[in-house]
Amino acid sequence: MDRGIASRLILSMVCLTTAVSVSAASISGKVVRVEDARAVAQAMVTLSFPDETRGAAAITTFTDAQGHYELATGKHQSLKQAVLTVSKPGFEPPDKTPVAVTSANKGEQKTLFLKNSSNIADQVPASAWFGQMPAGDARNITLSGCSSCHQMASPRVREYAAQIEAVSGGPEGDQKALEEWRKVVRHESWRTVVKYMRSKHYSVFPLESPVSLDAIDWLTAQNADYNFFNLKQGEIIAQYLASHFPHSTDSLHRDAYDYGGDLAVNENTVIKEFAFPDLALVREMVPAPGSPYLWGADVRRNQIVRLNPENGETKWYAPEFDGSTGPHTIIPDDDGNLWISMIDNDQFARFVPKDEKWTMWTLRPSNLADDASMGGAAIVHDMSIDSRGHLARDSDGNIWITLVGSNQMGTLNPDTGHVAFYDTNKVEGMSPINHLIYAAVLPKGGECVWYSQVNGHVACIDTQSKKIDKLVEFREGTGPRRMSVDNTGHLWVALFGSGQVAKIRMQDGKLLNTYDMPDRSAAPYSVTWDESRQVLWVVNANSDVIYRLDPETGISTVLPLPRRMAYLRQVAVDGKTGDLIASYGNYPEGSGPSMGVLIHPGDR
Task: Sheet containing 524-530: give its strands across.
Answer: 524-530, 535-540, 545-549, 556-560
Model pLDDT for residues 101-133, shown as the tens digit of each residue: 344 455 667 888 999 998 999 999 999 999 899
Q: Which amino acid is at 184?
A: V
Calculate ∠ Cα 553-554-556, nearest 5°. Answer: 110
Distance CA 37, CA 415 (A): 66
DSSP-derived 3-state class of residue 232:
helix
| Cβ atoms of 504 and 458 closer than 8 Å | yes
Of 47, 110, 43, 108, nearest to 74 by C-alpha is: 47
Q: Average the pLDDT over 384-390 and give the result.
A: 97
Please report which confidence band the pLDDT of residue 83 belongs to, taking 50, 70 and 90 as the band edges. confident
Q: Please state whether the peptide bond connecting residue 420 to the residue before it is cis, i.e. omega within 30 degrees of 0.
A: no
H-run or E-run covering 235:
helix 231-244
Least confident of 61-75, 234-248, 534-548, 573-587: 61-75
Q: Average the pLDDT over 275-295 and give the result.
A: 95
Residue 307's beta-bridge partner residues?
A: 294, 314
Distance CA 321, CA 573 (A): 31
Distance CA 148, CA 141 (A): 11
Distance CA 295, CA 5 (A): 48
Please report which confidence band the pLDDT of residue 508 belongs to, taking 50, 70 and 90 as the band edges. very high
Model pLDDT for residues 344-361, shown as the tens digit of each residue: 999 999 999 999 999 999
3-state secondary structure 481-516: EEEEECCCCEEEEEECCCCEEEEEECCCCEEEEEEE
Please say if the pLDDT value at position 14 is more than 60. no
| Cβ atoms of 337 and 287 closer than 8 Å | no
Distance CA 538, CA 517 (A): 9
Please say if the pLDDT value at position 5 is more than 90. no
Distance CA 101, CA 86 (A): 16
Distance CA 290, CA 486 (A): 24
Please report which confidence band the pLDDT of residue 20 belongs to, taking 50, 70 and 90 as the band edges. very low
**What's the chain's average pLDDT?**
90
600: buried, middle or exposed (CB in 10 Å: 19+, 13-18, 0-12)? Answer: middle
Q: Average the pLDDT over 178-186 and give the result.
A: 84
Distance CA 286, CA 528 (A): 12
